[in-house]
Amino acid sequence: MSANTGRHFDSVAVGESLGPHEIVIEKPRARAFAAACGMDSGRFHDDEAARAEGLPGMIIPGNFSLGLLSKLVTDWLGAGPGRLTRIGTTYRAIVLPERRLTLHGFVTHIEREARSVEIDVWIENEEAERLVIGTASVAFPPTD
């Protein structure tokens, strides 16, 4: 994901796309995230432990997915004055490491008076299934 120099409120338009960005989360990275968060469950660290729970293999923690989508938004904002004020996600399917994931977003609504922007965000797998969906809110200061 390439950084930008900063997005300003007046340049944002409904329909504008965030991404798509492709990403593969390797197992060591997923384990490191889980460990840093104190998530000790075997499903986040070990394929065998995950399979014992009926999963196809170790999975990426939900908060990691949330973080990826947050980063999609903050990268889009860049160094500008806007800030991510809220993000909410629904986990519709497990997210597996070592698979190609695609992060998507669309600006869907702009409140001119409040200088706020609503964004749809989601993570797709290679079969275009939406694994994690959500919405984010971005606020801009009175003048930027």
Partner 1 sequence: MATIIDLHSHSEASDDSRAPVGAYLNWIKLRRAERPLDGIVLTEHRQYNRAADYRALEDQFDVMVLRASEVETDYGHMLVFGVNDDILRRFDFSNVRLPAQEVIDGVAELGGVVVPCHPGRPTVGLCEHYETKPPLENVTAVELLNGGSRKGENERAAALVDRYGYRAIGGSDSHMVSLIGLCATRFDADVRTIDELVRELKSGRYEPVDFRPNRPRPRRAAPEMAGT
Footprint of partner 1 (CB under 8 A): 14-15, 88, 90, 92-93, 106, 108-109, 118, 120, 122, 127-129, 133, 135
Q: ∠109-110-113 over CA atoms, to 5°?
A: 145
- Which one, 57 or 81, has the nearer CB to partner 1? 57
Q: ∠122-106-78 over CA atoms, to 5°?
A: 95
- Residue 120 C-beta: closest distance to partner 1, Å: 4
> Which residue type does 65 have?
S
SS3 21: strand
- Residue 90 C-beta: closest distance to partner 1, Å: 8
Token digits for 111? Answer: 């409140």
- Residue 132 C-beta: closest distance to partner 1, Å: 12
- Which one, 34 or 137, has the nearer CB to partner 1? 137
Q: Which residue has the tokens 């990426």?
A: 60
- Which one, 75 or 118, has the nearer CB to partner 1? 118
- Which one, 29 or 90, has the nearer CB to partner 1? 90
Neighbours of 82 (CB within 10 A): 23
